[in-house]
Amino acid sequence: MQPKKWMLFAAEMVLFGSLMIHPEIKAASQPVENWERLAYTALQDEYEGAALNDYRYIGRTQVNDDQTKDVFRVTVKEGSMLFAAHAEIYFHPVTGHLISINVFRL
């Protein structure tokens, strides 16, 4: 291989390697807005007819190499009862595919 071609090949390999994204960085690039509507819809389905107030994003946790979790919290008012509920969205950090949605009362 000629020296110029070898240097070009080496430069391409360095560039390609720098474009590869680590899973934690990729998960961080998944916008919360991707999951926000899904979480709110799941909460509405679970507590149909109830008033949902103080909806907010709690945070993101890297569960393992294959799962990242976003947590959302809401205050639910069903009749005279007032309580907090969470929606947890699990997704694959690299592909961004939805794994599961869990809704539960706190």
**Cβ contact 56:71 at 8 Å:** no
Compute the radius of gyration of the chain from its Cα atoms: 21
Domains identified in the chain and CATH numbers: 3-105 (3.10.450.390)
**In this predicted structure, what is the pLDDT of residue 81?**
95
The count of other CB atoms within 10 Å of the CB of residue 79 is: 8
Tens of each residue's pLDDT in the chain, 106 residues = 555 554 455 545 544 444 444 444 554 567 888 899 999 999 999 999 999 999 999 999 999 999 999 999 999 999 999 999 999 999 999 999 999 999 999 9
